[in-house]
Amino acid sequence: MERWLWPSGGAWLLVAARALPQLLRADLRLDRPLLAALVLLATLDWLCQRLLPPLAALAVVAAAGWISLSCLARQPRLPVATRAVLITGCDSGFGKEAAKKLDAMGFTVLATVLDLDSPGALELRACCSPHLKLLQMDLTKPADISHALEFTKAHTTSTGLWGLVNNAGVNDVVADAELSPVATFRTCMEVNFFGTLQLTKGLLPLLRHSSGRIVTVGSPAGDMPYPCLAAYGTSKAATVLLMDVFDCELLPWGVKVSVIQPGCFRTESVKNVGHWERRKQLLLANLPQELLQAYGKDYIEHLHGQFLRSLSLALPDLSPVVDAIIDALLAAQPRRRYYPGHGLGLMYFIHHYLPEGLRRRFLQTFFINPCLPRALWPGQPSRTPTQDAVQDPDPNLGPSPKEAQ
């Protein structure tokens, strides 16, 4: 029995000795991830004692301990100094909170908003330092983007532009792809993809000069087929792929590109139940009669209720996303992907490794589980292809310019 005790103690001593330099140069906080890692290491140690020869057990536990502590330790960060960063979509949510935090850290923050008199803009004026500059910008308007580029160049002549945070985005329709107007797909692409593309391309000369950072807020809906988020998800998928291309192409210039894929957080748009009710009513009012008969009003009401139920589970604390933005801007070696939020690891594991049927059932269980469309109810008369051929819902159903970000 004693011959099994030595590898265990030796492994833990070796882990501690190997990890000591990491602990001295990085912040390893006693939080739930660290406690979970220690529990898993202890369990692995117990198993290795019983299943492996002494030297093999020592090697496995030492390697696992070193990898775990290295991953959990906060990586060294660059000093803030006089770094300047442009953040889009600061009227509310992640953009507003990130602007406040970066300003408090000493960054020169250029914050774009849709409305200079919005509550979020007024809050930033009231609580931030004079170093924070507000700029009105609508990503659907090329003239606004051109003005933002000139504004950024004028305000970063002495410091240079260190970072761009692409945070602004839009999603205003929650419905099946067939029920969603093509105009909604176009609006999502205009804001989430084309606007982001034009702004990022315009700022690349400044970012290349500083070997700076590009941080983009994506969405798991761009990685997984979330029900009823086709317009939003496809635009985010295109944006994330674009950022991966930038990551490869800008590597020789020293520009690092990160994408943040947050879970569901309780931002102002998520909390605004009245907004989602108005969008549902607008969808119903403009839906072609053939589609309304095929799916039924009850179907759309059910989707709306399921969506609001999923939003009720949103996390109220936005700091994990803000912390990810800060790490992507200042870490010496930032990650290419950040996944702030609860349960994302399980979601991505299911998406990548489990059968398609289980993946679909998981998303329906935790997001939207559609009911049966009316035309498929038992006893309903069958429809011919000619009867089912309908035109696209009203193309004017897309969000108004004020709702575009």
Residue located via tokens 């590898």: 7
To the nearest 10°, report the CA torsion of 28, 33, 39, 44.
-90
* Residue 84 CB burial class (10 angstroms; 0-12, 13-18, ≥19): buried
Query: What are residue 259's DSSP bridge partners?
Result: 216, 337
Output the CA–CA distances (angstroms, integers) from residue 345 to 68, 262, 263, in the order listed: 16, 11, 10
How many helices (H) and strands (E) are present in the chain, helices listed first? 17, 7
- Annotated active-site residue in 226, 232, 295, 299: 232
* 232 assigned to active site: yes
Three-class DSSP category at 291: helix
Find the distance separating the first CA and the last CA of the chain, reported in whole Å: 66
Cβ–Cβ contacts within 10 Å for residue 294, how many?
21
> CA quadruple 377, 381, 382, 385: dihedral positive or negative?
negative
Establish how many alpha carbons lie within 13 A of residue 380's alpha carbon, considering only the half-sphere containing its beta carbon: 14
Active site residues: 232
